[in-house]
Amino acid sequence: MSFKLPKLPYSYHELEPYIDKKTMEIHYNKHHGTYTNNLNKAILGTDMADLPIEGILKRAKNESTIIRNNGGGFYNHNIFWEILIPHSKFSSPSTYLNEIIENNFKSFYDFKNEFSNIALNHFGSGWIWLCIKNNKLTICSTMNQDNPIMDGIGCEGHPILGLDVWEHAYYLKYKNCRIDYISSFWKIVNWKKVEDNYKKIK
């Protein structure tokens, strides 16, 4: 199996002003593209060559750093692009999803505040995740390109939303102000896709 860089569901400029066109071009082509190419090279001729990405990630902790980092980078960005949407098409969570969030976090405000605080205080590069674990929604973070599908990293579950807090995701526009990037993220979340992700797992 050869993995392909997925087509973005919007143009580079359509997430502006929250994520700028230049960042999107570099992030998608240079970073995500490199993870994709390096993953394909790393699994070529191995017993992982015919596995789906989820199968590779399940083994990643016990494989080479190259497979772990590039497999995670490929998968994580696939989720990230899909759960973003141009602000002109933005809509709030449906009543269905909002009730689920409230049942797990008391209120949408509490969920958003907890997620944002974890993202703000995450040290170094990594990801913040909203996951389903044991039929409940949980928030956790991972270092580098690790993700909840990987076994034994302390953030297990099925991710339905993720935020990239690597500096390359925001530094051109926001410099060292990660808090502004996090605030902007909430204005372009595709809640319909998050709900679809939830339903697929449930």
**pLDDT tens, position by position, 5-26:** 999 999 999 999 999 999 999 9
Output 2 or 170, whichever has higher pLDDT. Answer: 170
Task: Determine, yes or no, domain membership for 5.
Answer: no
Q: Is 4 inside any structural domain?
A: no
Q: What is the CATH number of the domain that holds 36?
A: 3.55.40.20
Using pLDDT thresholds of 50, 70 and 90, give the confidence band for residue 61.
Answer: confident
Residue 49's domain comprises 20-202
Contacts 24+ apart (CB under 8 A), 110-116: 111/137, 111/139, 112/186, 114/139, 115/139, 115/163, 116/182, 116/183, 116/186
Residues 95-114: what's their mean pLDDT?
Answer: 97
pLDDT tens digits along 111-149: 999 999 999 999 999 999 999 999 999 999 999 999 999
What pLDDT is attached to residue 161?
Answer: 98
Tell me if 15 is assigned to some domain: no
Please check whether residue 8 lies inside any domain of the structure.
Answer: no
Q: What is the pTM of this model?
A: 0.96
Say how many domains are in the chain: 1
